[in-house]
Amino acid sequence: MERGWDRAHRFVDLPAGELERLVGQAFPGARLSAVQPLTFGLRNTNYRVELSGAAPVLLRLYTADADACGREAGVLAAVAGRVPAPRVLYSDGTADPPFALLEWMDGELLDGVLRDCDSNTANELARACGAALAAIHGIHFPSAGFLGPQMRIVHAMPAWDAAVLATLAGPVEERLGPELAEGIRSTVESNARTVEPIWQEAVLVHADYKPWNLLVGRAGGATARDGAWRVTGILDWEFACAACRLIDFATFLRDDAARPPGFADAFAAAYVDAGGSLPTDWRRLTRLVDLLNLLQLMAWTDDRASAELRRLVAANVVQA
């Protein structure tokens, strides 16, 4: 999902001199040998920058949410050594726009590997991703909420039912139509008491844990053909928060119908084996939790994306 959607924020084209100036904040006197705009994202502006005599870096401009610069830097510092995530080489949250220079991480995007691999490989990859997610969720907070710099909660997490109904109101309801909107209200009313205790969990949630943001590779490097698959990089932490662990399950398994049999079970089993915990009815609760994110996506996407989201919303309401 999301491949082919229109960007929500335009890509910022920077001249070579400006790119060199920004990179020079962390690498004084560095000369750029190659620059690659990474235009496949939907929000921020990213460049892969190669430097003469140095490893490549990622230049990230926070054009969607200025506060995400400090938030992401704090989260990346917290998960360093726990999971494979890029190191922050330099960041400036006061720049216009804020920007960061991040370690470039090698690997293949998981969504591309999943399109071409067999079912055994897909389930092996699911297990690797489940184990990595358990490590992220091993970081706990005193309460659920949205993060600011230094991993501090700056806003409390609203109740699930109130957040769903507030997002539903207005343009989203018009796109869904009256029948489906009423189905959502009925689903929320009948499940609020069950969801709320789960919703108020407070673990570190990536909140965009999808194959598009996960890099994978074989143990032994790019030339290894028989090594075990592993997660080599977890990218884009700008939405990270202290919240319900099933948010990440919902995002990762949103396309589960297109995956081989056993994919979700392999993911969940590896998560539990690595120290994570799940409620007995985690599948149903995951669909309910995902309603909020799907509706939030509908609030800013175009009509083409909304048609796909509407299908997923309808399926979650029926199955829940």
Q: Which of the four CATH numbers 3.40.50.2000, 3.90.1200.10, 3.90.220.20, 3.40.30.10 does domain 108-319 have?
A: 3.90.1200.10
**pLDDT of amino acid 46:** 94
Q: What is the pLDDT of residues 229-252, one digit of tens each?
A: 999 999 999 999 999 999 999 999
Q: What does the alpha-carbon distance between residue 75 and residue 209 come to, in Å, rounded to a whole number?
A: 14
**At 290, phi and psi to the nearest 5?**
-70, -20
Q: Which CATH superfamily is domain 16-103 in?
A: Phosphorylase Kinase; domain 1 (3.30.200.20)
**The pLDDT of residue 87:** 96
Three state DSSP letters for 191-219: HHHHHHHHHCCCEEECCCCCHHHEEEEEC
Residue 197: count other Cβ atoms within 10 Å of its Cβ: 10
Contact yes or no for 312/13 (Cβ under 8 A): no
Predicted local confidence at residue 10, as pLDDT: 79
Q: Residue 132: how many CB atoms within 10 A of its CB?
A: 24
d(CA 155, CA 148): 9
Listed by start position, the domains of the chain span: 16-103, 108-319
Task: Judge whether 16-103 and 108-319 match in fold.
Answer: no
Residue numbers of the chain with a pLDDT score lower than 70: 1-9, 41-42, 220-226, 302-305
Looking at residue 52, the DSSP 8-state letter turns out to be T
Nearest residue to 20 (alpha-carbon basis) of 53, 43, 51, 41: 51
Both structure tokens of 265: 């079970």
DSSP annotation of 28 reads T
